[in-house]
Structure 1
Amino acid sequence: MNRRRSSINLFLLALDSLSVYRGLLEDSVLRKLRELFIGLEKADIQLRDIVNDYNDFYYEFARCPGLSLAHHILNLIIFEENSFSLNAQAIHPSMRDNTLDQAVSSDLRNLEIIAKLDSKAIKAEIIKCCKLHATGNDPADILDSDLQSILQSLPDWGFSSALFANREPEHVQALKETFLTSPRWEDCLEELKQFHRQFGCGIFARSIAFIWERSEGQGYLKCVEQPDPITLHELVDYHDERSKVLENTMQFLKGYPANNVLLYGDRGTGKSSTVKAILNEYHPLGLRMIEIPKAFLADFPQILRILNNRSQKFILFVDDLVFGDNEENYTSLKAVLEGGLESKTSNILIYATSNRRHLVKEYFSERAGVQSANRDEEVHAGDSMQEKLSLADRFGINVVFSSPDQKQYLKIVDGIASHRRLTIDQTTLHKEALQWALWYNGRSARTARQFIDWIEGHLAIN
C-alpha cells in the first residue's frame, strides 16, 4: 500500500523540502493542498475527511485568477521576500550571488512538481487511495458506485489565459512565460535573479504606487491597484515649471545627486498631476512612489527603514502640505529633509505640493511677540518664527505654479481638447470655457480639464 501511495509521498516531500521558499507553506492554497496530501497518507482514511480536505483546498484555490496552480505558485515565487530575493535586489548585497543558488534551484524543482498537478491528477490519487483503503488489494477494484460518483464529481479546474489578459505588468508576464516554457524551472534561476535586480521583490515588484496607512497603531504600505493614469503628454503648458522637476527626477534615476522638491502655488494648477505623471513616465526605470498623508509624517523613520538598501528609487509624495500653528509633525519632515542620525538614503527623494509658500502658519501676534514685554511670551520668539518660515527652504528646489491668465487658460483648454480629439468650433469652445470659469472655480488647469470633461459628455449626448 505504501508503494502505491508513492505519488502522494512525493508531493508531500516536495513541499516539506522547501528551504529558502519555506514561507510559501503559509500560503492558504498550498497549506490546504498539503493538508489534503497528509490526509491521503493516513492509514485510516476517512472518505468524508478527504472530501472536506479537497473542497477546503478548492475553496481557497478558486480565488486565484485563472485557476492555474502553476500561475499561483509563480506569483508566490516572484513576489516572495526571502533571503534570496532580498539579496538579489539589494543595493549592497549581503551575500555572494551564488551562496543560495543550490538551495533555490532545489526549491524551484520541488515547486515545479506541485505546479504540474491538475484536478484530474489529484482526483485520481484520491480515488486510488480510497480504493486501496476499501479493499486492501489491487487499486483496480471497484468502489461502491455512489461513492465513486461523489469522488468523480469533485470540482475540476481549468486554466483560462483570457482571465490574465492585461491584468499583469509586462515584466511579470515575461518572467512567467520564461518559467512556463522552460523544460526545467531550476534553469530559470538567472532570469529570476535579474528580475529581482531590476524590479525588486515583495510589493515593490507587484506595484509602482503605494499609500502609507495605519491600522491599530501599526503603519504599513498598501498597494495602489489602479494609480492615476495621468501622463506628461496630457499636461498642457507650465513647461518651464515642469522641466525643473523632470530634470531633477532624471538626475535621481541615473544615480546623480538630486534635490527634494516643493511644488507650491495656486490651486488647480497641476502640481499633484505633475508628480503623478512623473511616476507613470519613469516607473520602467525603477521609480516607485509612496504617498504619505500629512498626519503620518512622524512615521518617516519607519518608512526609511523599509526602503533602505532596495535597488528601486522612491519618491515620497506629500500632497497639500501645510501645518497648523500647534502641529509638531513638521519637525519629523524637517529632520528627514535636513538629515539626522537616521537620514534618508540616496534612493529616496521627497516631493511635496502645497498651496502655500510658507508651510507653517504664522500669526501677527508672533511678530508682535518679538518686541513684547509680556511675561507669557516666548523670550526668543524670533527664533521660533524663523524656524517656521525656514521649512520650505529645506527643500532644495522650489517650483511655483501660478494661476493662468485668460490667454494661458484658453491655451490649456485647446491643448486638452486636441488631446481628446474633440470636434468643436474654437470660438464656441473658448466662449464656453470662459463661461465655465466664471461659473465655477476660476481659471486654472483643473478648471480647464473639468470643462473639457463636461463638454465632451455634452457633445456625446446631443
Structure 2
Amino acid sequence: MNRSCSSTNLFLLALDSLSVYRNLLEDSVLGKLRELLAGLEKMDLQLRDIINYYNDFYFELAKCPGLSLSHHILNQLIFAENSFSFNAQAMHPSMPENTLDQAVVSDLKNLETIAKLDSTTLKAEIAKLYKNNNTGNYPDDAGTFPESLLQILPDWEFSPTLLVNREPEHLRTLKEKFLTSTCWGDCLQDLKEFHRQYGCGIFARSIAFIWERTEGRGSLKCVERPDPITLRDLVDYHDERSRVLENTRQFLKGYPANNVLLYGDRGTGKSSTVKAILNEYHPLGLRMIEIPKAFLADFPQILRLLHNRSQKFILFVDDLVFGDNEENYTSLKAVLEGGLESKTSNILIYATSNRRHLVKEYFSERAGLQSSNREEEVHAGDSMQEKLSLADRFGINVVFSSPDQKQYLKIVEGIASHRNLAIDQTTLHKEALQWALWYNGRSARTARQFVDWIEGELAGH
C-alpha cells in the first residue's frame, strides 16, 4: 500500500512540520499522538501494538478538560513560550515584528489540522490500513480483521465550541476567535495582541505565583485560586492604604515608583492590602509573586526571569524579619539598593512586617559600643546602624496601628454592612467587644473573624 497517500501521513506531516511551535511535540498528549501516527506508518507493526499506542494517547487526552484535543492544542499554543510569543510580549522586541509571521501562520494551520482529528477518522484509517495489509495476523480464530475491537476503543470528537469553565474573558475571547475561524492562520494578529497585552507562558496563565524550591532548584508555581479579597472588602485605614494605591498606579503607568514596607501591629490588614491591590489592578497587567523569606537569596534568578517582560510585577514578601547573620538580609539589601544586577522598571518589592526594625538587634550589641572585650566588634555602632537602616531602603514606609475601640467598632460595622447582616447596632457592638476580649484583641482581622462568626450564628437561627 502507498502509505504517503494515507490521512495518517498527513496528520504526522502536520506535526513534523512545526517549527516555531516545535516544543509542543514535548507535550505528553501530542507526543503520544505522534507515536500513534508514526506507528501506523510502519508496515510491520502488529495491530496489538497500534491498540496500545491508541490507548496510551487516549490516557493522556483523558486528563484534559472536556476530553477535547482541539481545546488542549489551543491551550498549548496560547501559553507557549517560543521566539514568536516572547518577542510579541517583550518590552523591547529583539527582532522585526514580521520576521516570524510566515512560519507562525504555517504552524497555526498545521495545529488546526491536528486539532480537527477525531476518533472516527483515526479508527477508519486503522481499519483501512490493516485490512489492506491482509497479513492475517489478527487476534481472532478466523484470522479476519476484528471490527469489534476497534468499535470498543474510546472516542473523542472535535469540539468547535467553548468549554464551560471559569477562564478569564480575554482568554475565552481568543479561543472563540480560533474555534470560529475558517483558518487558524488568520488569527495571527489576535494572538500577537494577546501576547502583547497579557504576556506568554506562565504569566499569561495566572496573575499570582509563589516562588518555591524543588530539589534545590527554584521555580514559579501558579496560584490557581488567589485570595479573592478586594479593596471594597477592606474597611478603614484609608489614609494608609491610599499611599500604597497611589504608588501602585504610578508604577502601572510607567512612572517612577517606590518599594513599599507596610509594618505595624498584627491583624491590621497589611497583607490583605497587598492582595487586594493585585485583584484591583491585574487587568492593567499587574502580576504578583510571593517569595518566602527563606528564598530571598534567589532574587537574582527571579530578576533574570522577569527581565524584558511586558507585565508589571510586585514581589511580595510577607512577615519580613531577619535574625542575626542571615544571608537573605544581604540579598534583599542588594536588590533594594541596586547592585550590578539591579531590578528593572517593571518590578517593585512590597513587604509586610510586624516590626519597624526588620533585623533583630541585641543588647549585647549596644554594650559593645563601650566594651573593652576583645571579642566585641570594634565598630559596633556601624553594625547597629546598618541593621536599623534596612527599613529606610524601602522608599515608602506605611504604618498600620491597632485600632482603638471606636475604630474597631467602625470596622465591624463596615464589614457587617457590606454583608447585609440583619442585626441591631447595640447587639453588634456588644458582641464585637466581647469577641475582642475573648480572642485576639482589637484589630481588623479580629473584626472580620467576629463578623464571620456572627454571620454563621444568624444563618443558623
TM-score greater than 0.5 by the shorter chain: yes
CA contact 2:70–2:158 (8 Å) conserved in 1: no
Q: Deviations over 1:372-410 (max 9, x none)?
A: 111110011111001000000000000000000111101
Structure 1, gaps ≥5 residues long: 137-142
Aligned counterparts of 1:105 and 1:3: Cα–Cα separation in 2? 27
How far apart, CA to CA, are the structure 1 residues paired with 2:271 and 2:4? 65
Q: CA offset at residue 163 of structure 1?
A: 9.0
Q: Check the 8 A contact 2:79/2:202 in 1, yes or no.
A: yes
Q: Per-residue deviation at 1:328?
A: 2.5
Partners of 2:293 and 2:162 in 1: how far apart? 38
Report the Cα offset of residue 123 of structure 1.
1.2
Partners of 1:186 and 1:5 lie apart in 2 by 24
* Counterpart residue identity of residue 276, structure 1: K
Q: What secondary structure, in the 3-state scheme, does the structure 2 residue paired with 1:164 have?
A: coil
SS of structure 2 residue aligned to 1:310: coil
Q: Quick check: 1:292–1:316 contact (8 Å CA) kept in 2?
A: yes
- Partner of 1:23, secondary structure, is helix
Q: Where does residue 444 of structure 1 map in the other structure? A: 443
Task: Decide whether the 8 Å contact of 1:338 with 1:394 is kept in 2.
Answer: yes
Q: Distance in 2 between matches of 1:411 and 1:127?
A: 74
Q: Summarize the Cα distance change of 1:159–1:19 in structure 2 as closer, same or farther, 3 Å threshold.
A: closer
CA contact (8 A) 1:5 1:41 kept: no
Is the alpha carbon distance of 1:298 and 1:201 closer, same or farther for their aligned partners in structure 2, counting shifts above 3 Å?
same
Query: CA 1:328–1:45 in 2, change beyond 3 Å: closer, same or farther?
Result: closer
Q: Distance in 2 between matches of 1:159 and 1:451?
A: 51
Name the CA shift for 1:213/1:364 in 2 (closer, same or farther; >3 Å): same
Offset of 1:333 from its aligned partner?
0.2
Matched, 1:74 2:61: no
The equivalent residue for 2:139 is none
Tell me the distance in 2 between the aligned counterparts of 1:44 and 1:441: 75
Q: Report 1:5-404 matches (<5 A).
A: 5-134=5-134, 147-158=146-157, 164-404=163-403
Give, as a single letter, the amino acid of the residue that structure 1 aligns with 2:150. L
1:163-205 Cα deviation digits (max 9, x unpaired): 9323312111111001111110001001101100100000000
Of stretches 39-48 and 288-297 in structure 1, the one that deviates more from structure 2 is: 39-48
Query: Is contact 1:66-1:161 (8 Å) kept?
Result: no
Range that drifts further, 154-163 or 102-111: 154-163
After TM superposition, give the deviation of residue 159 of structure 1 in Å: 6.6
Checking the alignment, whether the CA contact within 8 Å between 2:160 and 2:179 is kept in structure 1 is: no
CA offset at residue 134 of structure 1?
Answer: 2.2
Whether contact under 8 Å (1:325, 1:360) holds in the other structure is yes
Q: Please tell me the root mean square deviation across aligned C-alpha atoms, in Å.
A: 1.6
TM-score (norm 1): 0.96
Matching residue's letter, 1:164: L
Cα-to-partner distance string for 1:8-43 (whole Å, 9 max, x where unaligned):
111111000000000000111111111111111111
Instruction: State how far apart, in whole Å, the 2-side matches of 1:285 and 1:22 are.
Output: 31
| Contact 2:231-2:273 at 8 Å conserved across structures | yes
**Cα 1:123–1:307 shift into 2, 3 Å:** same
1:325 Cα deviation (Å)?
A: 2.0
TM-score (ref. length: structure 2): 0.96
Q: Distance in 1 between matches of 2:62 and 2:433?
A: 54
Moved more, 17-26 or 126-135: 126-135
Q: Report the Cα distance in structure 2 between the residues aligned to 1:257 and 1:456, rounded to whole angstroms.
A: 44
CA distance in structure 1 between the partners assigned to 2:247 and 2:414 by the alignment: 25
Judge conservation of contact 1:32–1:56 (CA < 8 Å) in 2.
yes
Q: Which amino acid aligns with 1:82?
A: N
Alpha-carbon distance in 1 for matches of 2:285, 2:199: 9
Whether the 8 Å CA contact 1:67–1:160 is kept in 2: the answer is no
Over the matched positions of the two proteins, sequence identity in percent amounts to: 83
SS in 1 for 2:313: strand
- Looking at structure 1, the residues matched to 30 and 284 of structure 2 have their Cα atoms a distance apart, in angstroms, of 34
1:337–1:4 CA distance, 2 compared to 1 (3 A) = closer
Are the aligned partners of 2:161 and 2:176 in contact in 1 as well (CA < 8 Å)?
A: no
Relative to structure 1, is the Cα distance of residues 391 and 210 closer, same or farther in structure 2, using a 3 angstrom cutoff? Answer: same
Is 1:414 aligned to residue 413 of structure 2? yes
Alpha-carbon offset, residue 130 of structure 1: 1.6
Cα deviations by residue, 1:86-126 (Å, 9 ceiling, x for unpaired): 11111111101001001101100111100111111111111
Between the aligned partners of 1:296 and 1:312, the Cα distance in structure 2 is 22
Q: Check whether the contact 2:412–2:432 (CA below 8 A) recurs between aligned residues.
A: yes
Alpha-carbon distance change, 3 to 364 in structure 1, aligned in 2, over 3 angstroms: closer
Aligned to 1:140: none
Check the 8 A contact 1:39/1:50 in 2, yes or no: yes
For residue 349 of structure 1, report the CA deviation from its aligned partner. 0.0
Is the contact between residue 210 and residue 291 of structure 1 (CA under 8 Å) also seen in structure 2?
yes
Distance 1:161 1:459, change over 3 A: farther
* Number of residue pairs aligned between Structure 1 and Structure 2: 456
Partner of 1:139: none
Moved more, 2-11 or 395-404: 2-11
**Residues 58-83 of structure 1 deviation map (CA, whole Å, 9 limit, x = unaligned):** 00000000111111101000001001
Contact 1:265 1:356 in 2 (8 A): yes
Write the distance in 2 (CA, Å) between the matches of 1:434 and 1:383: 46
Cα distance change of structure 1 residues 394 and 4 upon mapping to structure 2, 3 Å threshold: closer
Q: CA deviation at 1:2?
A: 1.3
Residues 163 and 173 of structure 1: CA distance in aligned 2, closer, same or farther (over 3 Å): closer
Tell me, in whole angstroms, the C-alpha distance in 1 between the residues paired with 2:145 and 2:237. Answer: 75
User: Would the aligned equivalents of 1:44 and 1:133 in 2 still touch at CA under 8 Å?
Assistant: no
